[in-house]
């Protein structure tokens, strides 16, 4: 131990060196004779002198006396240390039993190693070798110096430090030096692996070194220290023994390897089952999962079914069935906890790959939207948009990273939740270049909305409203301004409610029309077209179904309601609007379906909306005339009077019926046209703004990063309803998010090789089995 006030880089004094030497000698003496515990003592029976070589009989008596003295000393040392050895063994066993098996990141990053490292983990780490943990290609973190004598503001680790320059000019890789991207610190592979404990005097290369400006003296001092050289020798010796299978535990390691292969084969099949159920949005567990149940849930039933054709699963299940109630099998991997662990391991691996792609792209856009689930928890979805360039192909991708519950409804609470979630995913908000939300004031407010709060943190994060919601509001506002349009859509809602309230009425509708009617929805974008289209296509059949329910044999309530409905449907105004909105909403529906395309860019959106605006502008007169002609034709067919309206129009000085309808419908179209035009102009403005803020080197990438719509968020809500339904309303948050990730990103999951995950999982689970 260095005395207080002496700098670590200075050479120790002679007294300190002698003290350290005595300490090492005492340690070596305490270990004398410990190898005799692994050697079987020879038989103590009497042997004849003729069996002993003559050279042995003639041995000098002084040598025999000295050998006897050494043997007594060894036996005495063993007796003294026996209790200590047994105590250390017990401590090691307790430590191994408390290892968190879920933390399989130990095999991927040096910062996760607990000091001292358990023996089973040390063996697995040495098998993987230091190159798996070195990360010498970066990226490396930047450290800011705080002291006043700093020569520069920041320091950064570089790849050159991983190589040592020899006197002859040759560069040799420092295989012992590893970098942790998680803790952003430098470690010594062998010293951390063989460290006994951590104290105040422990080297920073064991606990983590990040003072890059002190690498020049510290690095050389560490690699020339006696402690490092001792650990280096232990590393190379044990690694060579593992390669030759010549270690003391060679037989145990061989058994572990066989067990690992067995569990690897089992885990392969169980993980495939887990992945299948997750992608199909199916439930895993059953109401009763004991052996006597006839339906133990999808997971166990699929395992049982596949065991009939798969010998690995069959053998595993036979071993479980042979276990009695007294002595049960220690490991089955069929429990609900293991299911959650499988799902979490798979989802984390997929998320790691997605986040790695996002970081490779550097710039990204964020899209967040929320909806309540079946348990009345407000779930916020996390969707990231980035540009992926692979083999010369440029693609704007939108990936789902999970759900998380909201802590509040205010913009400050939502902003805090979003920033926390981005940090948890390992994404830097300063690399965000675009924001995309719905048109709610809490999210899109220009002063106090979420987009404004995040923009104050990162001025380069451009906000662009969802074009789908904007276009939906265009149509909503266009008919809200006209009372007759409101009456028209109200009549459509009455048609649906009248037939849906009774199975008998619904059967009459299906009998006459062969199709069902739809109800209106202010949030579902194509719902209005879905409600108008069947009534327009089957208008005659709908009228026949309504008239059939006017029969005197029908219930009194049915006959009373259907009379009012028949009067509303058999009206010139209703028929005219029916044909007008059918043609108009058909074009809008096609545009809305196109705008839901994944990875759509802003220039294509502006072009599509401009095409819709031109259609409304050029075809408005034709649409109105066509609607009036169809309405007049149906009026003649069903003897619907138009003269009464004509008389009222003449009394009020409103002109003829056709003239009034032309003016009224043109007004409605003009409103829709003006709103669509405003939307197109706003998007064009956003386009110009985004181009002006682009950097010179990456204008195209930044432009493609701009979010267009939150359709990906809406699609994730559909998966949410399928996964967390009323039968699975108590599902945990982590399980919900992981299942949604595996289901939504199923295309990515299909291309991922999970062999590495299975190998790590099998390595950590091997010691649970009883050998």
HEC string for 72-83: HHHHHHHHHHHH
Question: Higher confidence at residue 4 or residue 444?
Answer: 444
Looking at residue 701, what is its pLDDT?
86
pLDDT of residue 385: 94
Q: With left for phi above 0 and alpha for psi between -120 and 50, is residue 360 left, alpha or beta?
A: alpha
List, in sequence order, the alpha helices (H) in 289-397: 298-306, 311-322, 336-361
Helix (H, G, I), strand (E, B) or coil at 367: strand
Cα distances (Å, whole numbers) of residue 376 to 405, 406, 730: 11, 11, 11
pLDDT for residue 650: 44
Three-class secondary structure of residue 471 per DSSP: helix
With left for phi above 0 and alpha for psi between -120 and 50, is residue 255 left, alpha or beta?
alpha
CB-CB neighbours of 518 under 10 Å: 20
What is the reported pTM? 0.64
Share of the chain above pLDDT 90, in %: 21
The predicted pLDDT at position 34 comes to: 55
Mean pLDDT of the chain: 77
Classify residue 163 as exposed, middle or buried by CB count within 10 Å of its CB (0-12, 13-18, 19+). Answer: middle
Helices (H), 638-656: 643-651
User: Is the preceding omega at residue 593 within 30 degrees of 0, hence cis?
Assistant: no
pLDDT at 43: 45
Q: What is the pLDDT of residue 618?
A: 79
Helix axis angle, 411-424 to 450-457, nearest 10°: 50
pLDDT at 510 over 90: yes
**Per-residue pLDDT at 699:** 82
Summarised one tens digit per residue, pLDDT across range 664-679 is 555 455 445 445 445 5
pLDDT band at 67 (very low <50, low <70, confident <90, very high): very low
Q: What is the DSSP letter of 378?
A: E
Q: Is 546 exposed, middle or buried (0-12, 13-18, 19+ CB in 10 A)?
A: buried
Q: Please, what is the Cα angle at 81 between 76 and 82, to 5 degrees?
A: 95
pLDDT bracket for residue 689 (50, 70, 90): very low
Supply φ then ψ for residue 404, to 5 degrees: -150, 145
**Half-sphere exposure at residue 548, Cβ-oriented, CA atoms within 13 angstroms:** 17
For the ranges 146-160, 391-405, 745-759, which has the lowest average pLDDT? Answer: 146-160
| Residue 372 confidence (pLDDT) above 90 | yes
For the segment 337-352, the average pLDDT, to the nearest whole number, is 88
Q: Are 753 and 346 in contact (CB under 8 A)?
A: no
Q: How far is CA 391 from CA 388, 394, 626, in A?
A: 10, 9, 52
Nearest to 703 by CA among 418, 438, 470, 394: 394
State residue 277's pLDDT score. 92
The burial class, CB within 10 Å (0-12 / 13-18 / 19+), for 569 is: buried
Residue with tokens 């191994």: 96
> Tell me, what's the pLDDT at 99?
43
What are the structural domain ranges in the chain? 65-96, 104-247, 250-466+710-771, 470-684
């Amino acid at each position: 131990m260095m005395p207080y006030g002496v700098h670590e880089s200075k050479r120790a004094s002679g007294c300190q060196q002698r003290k350290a030497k005595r300490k090492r000698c005492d340690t070596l003496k305490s270990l004398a004779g410990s190898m005799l515990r692994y050697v079987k003592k020879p038989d103590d029976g009497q042997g004849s002198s003729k069996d002993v070589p003559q050279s042995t009989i003639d041995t000098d008596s002084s040598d025999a006396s000295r050998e006897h003295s050494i043997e007594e000393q060894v036996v005495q040392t063993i007796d003294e240390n026996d209790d200590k050895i047994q105590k250390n063994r017990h401590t090691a066993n307790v430590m191994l039993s408390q290892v968190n098996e879920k933390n399989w990141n130990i095999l991927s990053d040096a910062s996760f190693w607990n000091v001292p490292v358990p023996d089973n983990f040390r063996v697995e780490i040495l098998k993987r070798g230091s190159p798996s943990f070195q990360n010498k290609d970066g990226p490396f973190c930047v450290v800011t110096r705080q002291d006043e004598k700093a020569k520069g503001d920041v320091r950064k680790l570089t790849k050159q430090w991983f190589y040592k320059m020899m006197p002859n000019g040759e560069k040799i890789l420092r295989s012992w030096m590893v970098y942790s991207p998680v803790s952003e610190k430098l470690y010594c592979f062998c010293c951390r692996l063989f460290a006994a404990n951590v104290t105040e005097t422990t080297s920073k290369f064991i606990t983590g070194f990040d003072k890059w400006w002190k690498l020049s003296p510290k690095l050389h001092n560490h690699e020339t220290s006696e402690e490092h050289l001792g650990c280096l020798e232990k590393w190379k010796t044990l690694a060579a023994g593992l390669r030759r299978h010549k270690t003391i535990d060679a037989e145990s390691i061989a058994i572990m390897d066989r067990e690992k292969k067995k569990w690897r084969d089992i885990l392969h099949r169980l993980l495939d089952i887990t992945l299948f159920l997750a992608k199909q949005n199916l439930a895993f567990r059953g109401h009763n999962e004991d052996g006597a149940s006839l339906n133990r849930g999808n997971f166990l039933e699929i395992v049982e079914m596949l065991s009939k054709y798969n010998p690995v699963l069959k053998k595993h299940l036979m071993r479980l069935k042979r276990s009695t109630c007294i002595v049960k099998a220690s490991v089955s991997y069929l429990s609900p906890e293991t299911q959650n662990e499988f799902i979490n391991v798979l989802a984390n691996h997929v998320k790691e790959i997605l986040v790695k792609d996002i970081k490779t792209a550097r710039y990204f856009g964020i899209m967040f939207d929320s909806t309540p689930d079946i348990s009345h928890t407000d779930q916020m979805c996390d969707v990231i948009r980035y540009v992926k360039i692979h083999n010369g192909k440029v693609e704007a991708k939108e990936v789902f990273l999970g759900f998380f519950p909201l802590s509040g409804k205010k913009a400050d609470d939502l902003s805090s939740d979003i920033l926390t979630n981005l940090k948890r995913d390992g994404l830097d908000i300063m690399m965000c270049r675009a924001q995309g939300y719905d048109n709610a004031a809490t999210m899109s407010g220009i002063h106090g909305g979420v987009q404004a709060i995040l923009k104050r943190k990162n001025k380069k994060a451009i906000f662009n409203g969802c074009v789908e919601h904007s276009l939906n509001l265009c149509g909503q506002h266009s008919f809200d301004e006209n009372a007759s349009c409101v009456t028209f859509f109200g009549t459509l809602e009455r048609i649906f409610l009248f037939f849906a309230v009774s199975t008998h009425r619904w059967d009459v509708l299906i009998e006459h029309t062969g199709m069902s009617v739809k109800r209106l929805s202010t949030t579902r974008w194509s719902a209005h077209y879905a409600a108008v289209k069947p009534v327009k296509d089957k208008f005659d059949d709908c009228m026949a179904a309504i008239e059939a329910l006017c029969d005197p044999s029908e219930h009194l309530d049915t006959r009373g309601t259907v009379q009012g409905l028949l009067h509303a449907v058999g009206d010139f105004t209703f028929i005219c609007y029916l044909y007008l909105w059918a043609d108009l909403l058909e074009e809008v529906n096609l545009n809305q379906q196109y705008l839901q395309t994944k990875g759509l860019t802003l220039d294509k959106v502006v072009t599509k909306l401009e095409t819709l605006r031109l259609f409304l502008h050029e075809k408005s007169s034709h649409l109105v005339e066509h609607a009036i002609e169809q309405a007049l034709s149906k009026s003649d067919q069903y003897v619907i009077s138009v003269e009464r309206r004509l008389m009222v129009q003449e009394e009020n000085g409103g002109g003829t019926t056709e003239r009034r309808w032309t003016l009224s419908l043109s007004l409605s179209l003009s409103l829709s046209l003006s709103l669509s035009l405003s939307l197109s102009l706003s998007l064009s403005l956003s386009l110009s703004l985004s181009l002006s803020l682009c950097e010179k080197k990456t204008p195209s990438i930044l432009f493609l990063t701009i979010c267009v719509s939150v359709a990906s968020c809406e699609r994730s809500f559909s998966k949410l309803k399928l996964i967390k339904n009323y039968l699975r309303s108590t599902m945990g948050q982590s399980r919900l998010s992981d299942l949604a990730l595996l289901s939504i990103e199923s295309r990515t999951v299909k291309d991922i090789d999970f062999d590495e995950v299975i190998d790590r999982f099998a390595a950590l689970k091997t010691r649970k089995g009883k050998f």
